[in-house]
Amino acid sequence: MESQGIPLIGDQFPEMEVVTTHGKMTLPDAFKGQWFILFSHPADFTPVCTTEFYAFQKRYAEFRDLNTELIGLSVDQVFSHMKWTDWIRDNLDIEIEFPIIADTGKVADMLGLIHPGSPTSTVRAVFMVDPEGMVRAILYYPAELGRNFDEFIRMIKAFQVSDDQGVAMPANWPNNELFGDDVIVPPPQSEAVAAERRGKEGCLDWWLCHIPVEK
């Protein structure tokens, strides 16, 4: 793994070989043609992280229906991940099907995930990566706050609609207080187009227009 700056939104996800509970993988190539969500957790055998893994697995089929894979990460050895997922299976009656990266700290350091208070713990972070290997979203959470996994599904759906139809999403889409599940038309690129939009159905003004999602 080459040393480089922490990837930002719009950057290519850095190429890296990782050891996981499913064997060695090369990212982002292992998920080429798919979206993937790489998420870090502070440590195995911790309460909040356990609830998060349960929540991710409960939605795993929904993510896969969206052509999206999951991969976890923490600074723990692979046998620790395996014993923890065994505990989750035996005690919570659910099988963790997605891989978990066993990190020595190199991957976490490359992605900017090391907790400032502990060199052996990762912050709760999420990288959403598109089928071309581009980072589309990055989210960070404090140790005491578990993540909202339905929001991740909403974001993937929104990215896919945006990419397919060249639109943007209003607040709380698809349950926006003004436009419901309509989407936002990009701003006009010329005075002529702006003039056409004035008074047009779905346009509150030349710069604020909404349309139904294409089915």
- Catalytic residue annotation: 49
Residue with tokens 């997605």: 98
Nearest to 159 by CA among 180, 134, 179, 142: 134
d(CA 119, CA 211): 48
The percent of the chain in helix, strand and coil, each rounded to the nearest 5, is 30, 25, 45
Nearest to 97 by CA among 77, 134, 66, 71: 71
- Among positive and negative, which fits the CA dihedral 86, 91, 95, 101? negative
DSSP state of 140: E
What element of type H or E holds 193? helix 191-197
Encoded tokens for 21: 């509970």
